[in-house]
């Protein structure tokens, strides 16, 4: 967990500095979106200082920095925060990594060769994976296509200049990220913390190398906001959060935080959450009953840490905002073997690709939760409210209370989470609805349908899939899902639930192409009715979040689904009439 290096007493506008800590004289200024260049220039003249974009990605969000003298801070902040063109203005604080997450300098002794599943040789040393029962989860999901943004020190993900991709990320897929420290498109890790975090989420698995990752088929978006010394600014972190939300991340992992509340970071978390991103944050390593920021912000999912026995780690923070606990290691309890092992680098050895180091901290607990969130999304449950509900509902309670301030709703359990998510998405409701629709359709249109058995099968396959087939895993998992949900396997979770797929358009196009084939009309009717059932069921309760529909899983999504379900039923009726006449 990354703790605050600098704090500012905002009421008095004075600073105190820990030994060796620099005082920032930067102010972070968030202007109202759409502020014109002329208005910004007028504001610059008003305060007597230039406003410079925090990064090349800050223009849309209107994130600016301005350098001021220490004695001017109070006066300029007052001017800025009273100006209607300014949403927020505050000091740009620095952050750093605490001592108790230092890595163990050498990995645990490799186990004797044997038949392990997966076949990664150090996998038996990953006690945390056994604790959360990740092997059961892998039978149904490996996080395929889910994009997880790692906002940290970067990731050792590419061979570029002096940097190298670490060996056990060789098969992990990465999407475009950014280095907010150096303002480049190469967010390489020069510390090791971010690579370790990314490994827990999506280390290449079953490749006979090193260790495993929780969601090995997820994609990592590396975002560097912390330097080689482990320090960074609130401005860069907020900028990275918005970048992740805008560029398609579905999960954000922030193994960082501090004691100072930043309105600009809080707004960034709210922005990401509104865009449908699950924002998972470390509660802190303060050994106290206070969840640190950004984990304490509304919309964040706060994670505390437990050791190998499931007991709260000695360093872990806790508090009223806590959502869940997860394995983060505890060397006091289990020695070096009690920490979390992953492939990473060291600050002075960025080109060494074969280091396996054991870290401990809420920083390590958080990516366990982010990885399981990716597994949940890999089943097709992508609404962030539902993902968070699954994480909480499936957690193993600690004690008799449903929630407590140290463990939240309990300790993370991947197996139970994926089982619950699969049940939510398995379509038993759709299955019985499809059976009912099939019987009703065969009775109503019995004289109009060629190949009635094919028509009935089409209703079930399109509307519900065959839920019990999913239990077979592997390729059978797709057959257990409704036909419109096959986009999850074709395009990944990032392309699941698109505006086109969740509409009448695919069946309309198919019907236009095949209507002249008389023997296929029953199939078209069945697929149209089944597609309508799927859309109608997706509008039931908490609606699916449709990509391309404004807002997040709201009334517009429900309206879209219901209108298109009705259009599909009308299409089926038209085809039946045509079939009866010819």
The total of other beta-carbon atoms located within 10 Å of residue 32's CB is 12
Which fold is adopted by the domain 25-92?
Alpha-Beta Plaits (3.30.70)
The residue annotated as part of the active site, out of 120, 152, 330, 545, is 152
Please report how many Cα atoms fall inside a 13 Å half-sphere around the Cα of residue 488, on the Cβ side.
26
- Among 472, 469, 460, 458, CA closest to 431: 460
pLDDT of residue 572: 86
Tokens representing 574 are 């038209």
Query: Which residue blocks in 317-361 are alpha helix, DSSP H?
Result: 331-334
Q: For the chain, 582 residues long, give each residue's pLDDT as a single digit of tens.
A: 443 332 222 222 222 223 223 335 789 999 998 999 999 999 999 999 999 999 999 998 899 999 998 888 899 999 999 999 999 999 988 776 654 566 665 455 555 444 558 999 999 999 999 999 999 999 989 999 999 999 999 999 999 999 999 999 999 999 999 999 999 999 999 999 999 999 999 999 999 999 999 999 999 999 999 999 888 899 999 999 999 999 999 999 999 987 678 999 999 999 999 888 999 999 999 999 999 999 999 999 999 999 999 999 999 999 999 999 999 999 998 888 999 999 999 988 999 999 999 999 999 999 999 999 999 999 888 888 889 989 998 999 887 788 999 999 999 999 999 988 876 665 555 666 666 666 666 666 666 555 566 677 777 777 767 666 655 655 666 776 777 878 766 776 666 778 888 899 999 999 899 888 888 888 888 888 888 888 887 776 555 667 778 766 678 888 998 899 889 989 988 888 887 765
The residue annotated as part of the active site, out of 57, 191, 193, 196, is 193
pLDDT of residue 344: 96
pLDDT of residue 10: 28
Give dist(CA 203, CA 387) in Å, integer. Answer: 22
Tokens representing 229 are 């010394």
Task: Measure Cα distances from 128 to 34, 136, 149, 331, 367 in Å.
Answer: 47, 14, 22, 13, 12
Q: Mark whether 193 is an active-site residue.
A: yes
| Region of 276 on the Ramachandran plot (φ > 0 left; ψ -120 to 50 alpha; else beta) | left
pLDDT of residue 465: 73
Q: Mark whether 503 is an active-site residue.
A: no
Give dist(CA 301, CA 312) in Å, integer. Answer: 18
pLDDT of residue 102: 61
- Among 428, 456, 454, CA closest to 441: 456
Q: Which value, to the nearest 10 degrees, does the dihedral of the CA atoms of residues 158, 150, 477, 483 take?
A: -100
Residue pair 185/154 in contact by the 8 Å Cβ criterion: no
Task: Measure Cα distances from 51 to 32, 202, 295 in Å.
Answer: 14, 39, 29
- The phi and psi torsions of 213 (rounded to 5 degrees) equal -120, 155
- Among 84, 66, 87, 64, CA closest to 76: 66
The total of other beta-carbon atoms located within 10 Å of residue 82's CB is 9
pLDDT of residue 453: 65
pLDDT of residue 241: 97
Tokens representing 463 are 């509307």
DSSP category for residue 24: P
- Among 456, 386, 461, 384, CA closest to 423: 386
Tokens representing 572 are 């089926």
Q: Where are the domains of the chain?
A: 25-92, 122-423, 427-581
Three-state DSSP class for 82? coil
Residue pair 312/80 in contact by the 8 Å Cβ criterion: no
Close Cβ partners of 348 (under 8 Å, ≥ 6 residues apart): none
The residue annotated as part of the active site, out of 96, 125, 363, 470, is 363
Three-state DSSP class for 266? helix
Please report how many Cα atoms fall inside a 13 Å half-sphere around the Cα of residue 571, on the Cβ side.
28
Which fold is adopted by the domain 122-423?
Rossmann fold (3.40.50)
- Among 437, 424, 406, 448, CA closest to 540: 424
Q: Mark whether 363 is an active-site residue.
A: yes
Question: Residue by residue, what is the 3-state secondary structure of 351-419?
Answer: CCCCEEEEECCHHHHHHHHHHHHHHHHHCCCCCHHHHHHHHHHHCECCCCCCCECCCECCECCHHHHHH
């Amino acid at each position: 967990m990354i703790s605050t290096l600098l704090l500012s007493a905002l009421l008095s506008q004075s600073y105190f500095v820990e030994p060796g800590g620099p005082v920032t004289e930067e102010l972070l200024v968030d202007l109202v979106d759409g502020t014109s260049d002329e208005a910004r220039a007028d504001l610059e003249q008003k305060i007597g200082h230039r406003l410079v974009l925090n990064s090349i990605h800050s223009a849309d969000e209107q994130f600016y920095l301005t350098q001021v003298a220490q004695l001017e801070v109070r006066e300029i902040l007052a001017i800025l925060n009273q100006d209607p063109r300014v949403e927020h203005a505050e000091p740009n604080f620095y952050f750093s990594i605490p001592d108790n997450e230092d890595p163990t300098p050498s990995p645990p002794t490799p186990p004797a060769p044997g038949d392990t599943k997966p076949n990664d040789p150090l996998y038996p040393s990953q006690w945390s994976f056994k604790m959360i029962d990740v092997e059961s989860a892998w039978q149904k999901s490996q996080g395929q296509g889910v994009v997880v943004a790692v906002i940290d020190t970067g990731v050792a993900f590419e061979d570029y200049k002096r940097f190298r991709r670490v060996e056990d990320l060789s098969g992990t897929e990465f999407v475009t990220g950014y280095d907010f420290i150096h303002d480049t498109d190469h967010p390489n890790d020069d510390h090791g913390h971010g690579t370790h975090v990314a490994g827990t989420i999506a280390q290449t698995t079953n490749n006979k190398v090193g260790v495993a990752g929780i969601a090995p088929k997820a994609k990592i978006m590396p975002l560097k906001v912390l330097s080689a010394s482990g320090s960074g600014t609130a401005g860069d972190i907020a900028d990275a959060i918005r970048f992740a939300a805008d560029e398609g991340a579905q999960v954000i992992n922030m193994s960082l935080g501090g004691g100072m509340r930043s309105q600009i970071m809080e707004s960034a978390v709210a922005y990401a959450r509104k865009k449908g991103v699950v924002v998972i944050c470390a509660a802190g390593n303060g050994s106290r009953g206070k969840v640190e920021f950004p984990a304490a912000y509304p919309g964040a999912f706060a994670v505390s840490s437990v050791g190998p026995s499931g007991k709260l780690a000695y360093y872990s923070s806790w508090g009223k905002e806590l959502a869940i606990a997860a394995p983060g290691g505890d060397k006091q309890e289990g020695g070096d073997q009690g920490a979390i092992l992953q492939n990473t680098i060291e600050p002075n050895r960025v080109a060494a690709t074969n280091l396996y180091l054991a870290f401990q901290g809420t920083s390590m607990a958080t990516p366990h939760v982010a990885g399981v969130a990716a597994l949940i999304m890999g089943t097709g449950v992508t609404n962030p409210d539902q993902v968070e509900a699954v994480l909480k509902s499936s957690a193993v309670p600690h004690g008799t209370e449903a929630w407590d301030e140290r463990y939240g709703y309990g300790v993370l359990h991947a197996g139970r989470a994926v089982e619950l998510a699969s049940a939510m998405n398995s379509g038993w409701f759709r299955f019985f609805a499809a059976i009912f629709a099939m019987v009703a359709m065969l009775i109503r249109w019995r004289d109009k349908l060629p190949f009635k058995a094919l028509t009935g099968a089409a209703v079930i396959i399109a509307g519900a899939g065959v839920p019990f087939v999913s239990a077979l895993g592997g390729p059978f998992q797709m057959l257990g899902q409704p036909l419109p949900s096959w986009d999850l396997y074709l395009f990944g979770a990032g392309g699941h639930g698109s505006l086109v797929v969740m509409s009448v358009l695919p069946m309309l196009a198919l019907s236009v192409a095949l209507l002249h084939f008389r023997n296929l009309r029953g199939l078209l009717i069945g697929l149209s009715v089944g597609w309508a059932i799927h859309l109608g069921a997706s509008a039931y309760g908490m609606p699916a979040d449709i990509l391309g529909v404004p807002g997040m899983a709201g009334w517009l999504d429900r309206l879209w689904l219901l209108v298109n379900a009705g259009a599909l039923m009308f299409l089926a009726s038209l085809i039946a009439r045509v079939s009866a006449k010819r």
